[in-house]
Amino acid sequence: MDDDLTLLADRLSHAVGDYRTTAATTVAELAHAVDVIDADLPMARLDVLFRSPHVATVAVRDVEDHGRLGLVTRTRYTAAMTGRLGFGRAVHARRTTGDIADWAPLVTTPDAPVSEIAVKAMERHGERRYDDVLVAGAVWGVASTADLVHSLSTQLAVRSLHDPLTGLEHRSMLHHRLAQRCADEWGTTARVALLLLDVRDFRGLNVRRGHAFGDVVLAALGARLRAVAPVRTDVARTGGDELALVATLHVRDDDHAAEVAEGLRAQVVERLAAAAQGVDPADWPALHSVAVCSGPGSGTPDELLRDAQRRLGETKSAWRRRAVLDLPEVRSLLGHPDDAVEVVDL
């Protein structure tokens, strides 16, 4: 599984740089301006246009109906001028561009989703399957089918590695990132640190405001975590209302490692404390949080995750006990109507 994830991540990194950035989602992001010529332009003039290696496609405007556009690709032009017996240039020399244009190209609007147009483009038959797509607008443009399919495949690959709600990497990728860091630091003095963050009383938030609002809060937390995470760290959603951050620490000893990990945890929690824009501060949740470290140059993903989950569970249990014992009716029953009951953390 880790080998498959490594291969996919590496291929995406070579193809699009940082594959964690979002691929193009609308056709406008892929389109570029195209030359528009009249259908009555002589083929000899069209030949001049295609002498430029930068011209792959031209749009053709119907001289009688300017709202009607056709398309001439370099492939279509070359095929026409070559001819089946090699006499194409002589035959077409005095004809007009409209005679060889494709008057039924695939036309779309700039805001059309890449996913939709890429599928439509590949549904075309024969050689037309690979023709450019016309993009309507104040300035007409074209988008290549190759770019559309490449963008679509990148979107699908990125989604397979990321949680769709928050955009953060999912649990399998977190395990993969931990494994990479542990392997890289094996035998050195460095430590791998794992922070787990859990929304306090997320179930209560869903009950009070509904699951849709809970999703809004999680998405906002994910975006905020991605924005505030220190450089060279990895962030993920490990499931439900739980988020994670992974870092490599170069420290002197165990005490220094614990101090740095705790400082990182406190810094991240502080930066996540302010309510996101559009969310009432009263509805912005507090977080349970823990930080754990591997030993110097050792540790495995399973050990780190197990330790962090155990400590997070203890933190949540202690908070729940405090919340129950701090209720006025419970304090009254225990004979402490005015004083909070002290609870010792386990």
Distance separating alpha carbons of residues 326 and 340, to the nearest angstrom: 6
Is residue 24 in a domain? Answer: yes
Domain's final residue, options 101, 121, 155:
155
Asked if 189 and 90 sit in the same domain, the reply is: no
Q: What is the pLDDT of residue 320?
A: 85
- Written as six digits, the tokens of 344 are 């010792």
**Burial class (CB within 10 angstroms; exposed 0-12, middle 13-18, buried 19+) of 57:** buried
Is residue 164 in a domain? Answer: no
Q: What is the pLDDT of residue 335?
A: 58
Q: What is the pLDDT of residue 14?
A: 44
Cα three-residue angle 144-149-154, rounded to 5 degrees: 125
Read off the amino acid at residue 208.
R
Pairing type for strands 133-135 and 36-38 reads unpaired
- Written as six digits, the tokens of 273 are 């404390």
Q: What is the pLDDT of residue 327?
A: 56
Q: Which domain holds residue 293?
A: 171-334
Distance separating alpha carbons of residues 277 and 202, to the nearest angstrom: 19
Asked if 111 and 8 sit in the same domain, the reply is: yes
Asked if 305 and 185 sit in the same domain, the reply is: yes
Asked if 149 and 56 sit in the same domain, the reply is: yes
Among 185, 192, 219, 193, which Cα is nearest to 290's? Answer: 193
Asked if 268 and 307 sit in the same domain, the reply is: yes
Is residue 328 in a domain? Answer: yes
- pLDDT digit string, tens, across residues 55-100: 999 999 998 887 789 999 998 888 887 765 455 566 666 788 998 8
Asked if 130 and 75 sit in the same domain, the reply is: yes
Contact 269, 197 (CB under 8 A): yes
Query: Along the chain (346 residues), what's the average pLDDT of each consecutive run of 10 residues?
Result: 52 44 79 92 87 91 85 88 61 79 93 93 87 91 92 81 88 92 92 96 92 93 94 93 96 93 96 92 94 92 95 92 65 53 35
Cα three-residue angle 329-333-337, rounded to 5 degrees: 65
Domain's final residue, options 104, 130, 155:
155
Domain's final residue, options 155, 183, 208:
155
User: How is residue 339 annotated by DSSP?
Assistant: S
Asked if 84 and 189 sit in the same domain, the reply is: no
Contact 291, 194 (CB under 8 A): yes
pTM for this predicted structure? 0.62
Asked if 120 and 175 sit in the same domain, the reply is: no
Q: What is the CATH number of the domain that holds 229?
A: 3.30.70.270
Q: How many domains does the chain have?
A: 2
Asked if 207 and 322 sit in the same domain, the reply is: yes
